Chain A
Amino acid sequence: MTNNILADEMNEEKIGTVKEAKDVGPPIQLKNIFKAFGEQKVLNGLDLDVARGETLSVLGQSGTGKSVLLKLIMGLQQPDSGTIRVLGQEIVGLAREQMNDIRKRIGFLFQSAALYDSLTVEQNVAFPLERHSDISAAERKKCVRELLETVEMEKDMEKLPGELSGGMQKRVGLARALALSPEIMLYDEPTAGLDPITASEIEDLVLKLHKERKMTSIVVTHDLPGAKIISDRLALMRDGKILVAGTFQDLQKSKDEFVVKFTNRGV
């Protein structure tokens, strides 16, 4: 209930702040993206569209620019060339204030969870709410509790991140990412480094959130079996581009040697 109130409040705020953005077409659109770090070319003419409400998993070998792709969508890094439209707004070169209006509508789960290590679990989740909503302290506390209940971490509200396991940190990171009721959710390796049971729990959580909140999601992962379960569509990256995108069945039908190798080894 509190989350619904907050979502309405946030949506009203968003409508007011990003008036020029027209939410038509895919909420995430990348065209001809190039990105290099020094001599190392990471993205090499990448094109990608993600439909509204869709969960897309991006797979590929390590170092192919999957995490960079998410950071570009979040505006944490800038491409060398190409266009990125997020929620109807071109974000390349966008001023910080305007980019922040977009960021309020996106949740980001970092690979390392990236929790603020000097704040408790409760303070971590409350952090975006304190800065971007006008709800009272009591409502905020209730909202944080509900978010932590969603990820089954409500018993550890007073703990510091250093006292949590990797899987627990990911859950708290997820609760924090969901705090502003985002329309887009970006997951960077949500199950990396976790044991199979915890990884499966995180996957169930992602699936549950997708069903309940109808968010548009991109999941960067190496875990093909997990991606198969949580995604509507999969995209396989190679040489800085999307080599193939489609359902798991589409990937299986591919005759490309790399796709065949990846799908056979991954399952």
Chain B
Amino acid sequence: MPLVVLAGAATGVVLSMETHASLVRFGAKSMLPALLIVSIITESGPIITGLVVSGRVAAGIGAELSAMKVTEQIDAMEASAVDPYKYLAATRILACILMLPLLTLAADFSGILFGWVANTLTQPISLQMFITEGFKHVTFHDLLPTTFKTMIFGLIIGVVSSFQGMRAHGGTEGVQRAATDSVVLSALFIIVADVFLVRLIQVFFP
């Protein structure tokens, strides 16, 4: 959560600074709140959350499950007639799917808040006005699909890291490999999936 909030805040500040200069150049300074909010809600918030969580959670799941695998704890679970895929993997995948949209909302909130702070430092504007102006052009069609698409990111993180952890072998080196692959593959698949999801959202929520 703190990582996601921090990443969201940084994104908001950077977007605010970058777009401010561009909008001033084109004489569209008043569009900044709307541009910032739309940008954060539709793309920056979800993708930043997906990538931050893939770095933090995928590494954790990959390392934990692979350590359990190489120390025969997963075999011991099977020997106890407990399905490790249900007990260890399914629960983690479900947690990732459910948590990603909530974390995305936290990142969105933090991004908007710190975007306003950054904007206010150069051009003072009240938070209420910033929000009112910004959300004038935002509908639930902008917020819901883009927030819920992060459930797919959660699915990717959970499945990839659980798969890497459960198939680990080769002691400490195997654990390291599983953790690294979990992060790299999750991040990669999230970026690729985002391309398709953005297009799908554009088609179904024009």
Indicate if B71 sits at the interface (CB-CB under 8 A): yes
Residue contact B73 to A116, C-beta cutoff 8 Å: yes
Indicate if B75 sits at the interface (CB-CB under 8 A): yes
Tell me the B44-82 residues at the A interface (CB within 8 Å): 68, 71-73, 75-82
Indicate if A106 sits at the interface (CB-CB under 8 A): yes
Residue contact B79 to A74, C-beta cutoff 8 Å: yes
> What residues on A are CB-neighbors of B72 within 8 Å?
110-112, 114
Residue contact B79 to A103, C-beta cutoff 8 Å: yes
Nearest residue in A to B72 (C-beta to C-beta)? A114
Nearest residue in A to B76 (C-beta to C-beta)? A114
A177 vs B68: C-alpha distance in the bound complex, in angstroms? Answer: 18
A73 vs B89: C-alpha distance in the bound complex, in angstroms? Answer: 25
Nearest residue in A to B83 (C-beta to C-beta)? A96
Tell me the A212-252 residues at the B interface (CB within 8 Å): none
Q: Which of A76, A96, A117 contacts B79 (CB 8 A)?
A: A76
Residue contact A103 to B80, C-beta cutoff 8 Å: yes
Tell me the A59-104 residues at the B interface (CB within 8 Å): 71, 74-76, 96, 100-101, 103-104
The size bracket of the interface on A is 20 to 34
> What residues on A are CB-neighbors of B68 within 8 Å?
116
Residue contact A106 to B71, C-beta cutoff 8 Å: no
Nearest residue in A to B85 (C-beta to C-beta)? A96
State the Cβ distance, A126 to closest chain B Cβ, in Å: 11
> What residues on A are CB-neighbors of B75 within 8 Å?
71, 76, 110, 114
Given contacts A112-B71, A114-B71, A114-B72, contact A101 B78 (CB under 8 A): no
Indicate if A127 sits at the interface (CB-CB under 8 A): yes
Residue contact B82 to A110, C-beta cutoff 8 Å: no
Given contacts A110-B75, A117-B73, contact A127 B80 (CB under 8 A): yes
Indicate if A211 sits at the interface (CB-CB under 8 A): no
> What residues on A are CB-neighbors of B81 within 8 Å?
100-101, 103-104, 128, 131-132
> What residues on B are CB-neighbors of A104 within 8 Å?
81
Scan B114-127; emit 1 where CB is below 8 A from any A CB, else 0: 00000000000000
State the Cβ distance, B83 to closest chain A Cβ, in Å: 6
Tell me the A108-130 residues at the B interface (CB within 8 Å): 108, 110-112, 114-117, 127-128
Residue contact B71 to A117, C-beta cutoff 8 Å: yes
A101 vs B82: C-alpha distance in the bound complex, in angstroms? Answer: 10
Nearest residue in A to B80 (C-beta to C-beta)? A128
> What residues on B are CB-neighbors of A71 within 8 Å?
75
Residue contact A100 to B83, C-beta cutoff 8 Å: yes
State the Cβ distance, A46 to closest chain B Cβ, in Å: 21
A115 vs B68: C-alpha distance in the bound complex, in angstroms? Answer: 10
State the Cβ distance, B171 to closest chain A Cβ, in Å: 12
State the Cβ distance, B175 to closest chain A Cβ, in Å: 13
Nearest residue in A to B86 (C-beta to C-beta)? A96
> What residues on A are CB-neighbors of B80 within 8 Å?
103, 127-128, 131-132, 176, 180
> What residues on B are CB-neighbors of A128 within 8 Å?
80-82
Nearest residue in A to B78 (C-beta to C-beta)? A76
Nearest residue in B to A112 (C-beta to C-beta)? B72
State the Cβ distance, A181 to closest chain B Cβ, in Å: 13
Nearest residue in A to B64 (C-beta to C-beta)? A118
Residue contact A108 to B76, C-beta cutoff 8 Å: yes
Residue contact A131 to B82, C-beta cutoff 8 Å: yes
> What residues on A are CB-neighbors of B73 within 8 Å?
114-117
Nearest residue in B to A71 (C-beta to C-beta)? B75
A101 vs B72: C-alpha distance in the bound complex, in angstroms? Answer: 21
> What residues on A are CB-neighbors of B71 within 8 Å?
112, 114, 117
> What residues on B are CB-neighbors of A106 within 8 Å?
79
> What residues on A are CB-neighbors of B83 within 8 Å?
96, 100
A177 vs B83: C-alpha distance in the bound complex, in angstroms? Answer: 16
**15 sample A-B contacts, Cβ–Cβ < 8 Å, listed by A number:** A74-B79, A76-B79, A100-B82, A101-B81, A103-B79, A106-B79, A110-B76, A110-B79, A111-B72, A112-B71, A112-B72, A115-B76, A117-B71, A128-B80, A176-B80
Chain B residues in contact with chain A, CB under 8 A? 68, 71-73, 75-83
Pick the 6 closest A-B CB pairs, nearest first: A114-B76, A100-B81, A114-B72, A103-B81, A108-B79, A128-B80
Given contact pairs A100-B82, A132-B80, enumerate 8 new A-B contacts (beta carbons under 8 Å): A75-B78, A104-B81, A114-B72, A114-B76, A116-B77, A131-B81, A132-B81, A176-B76
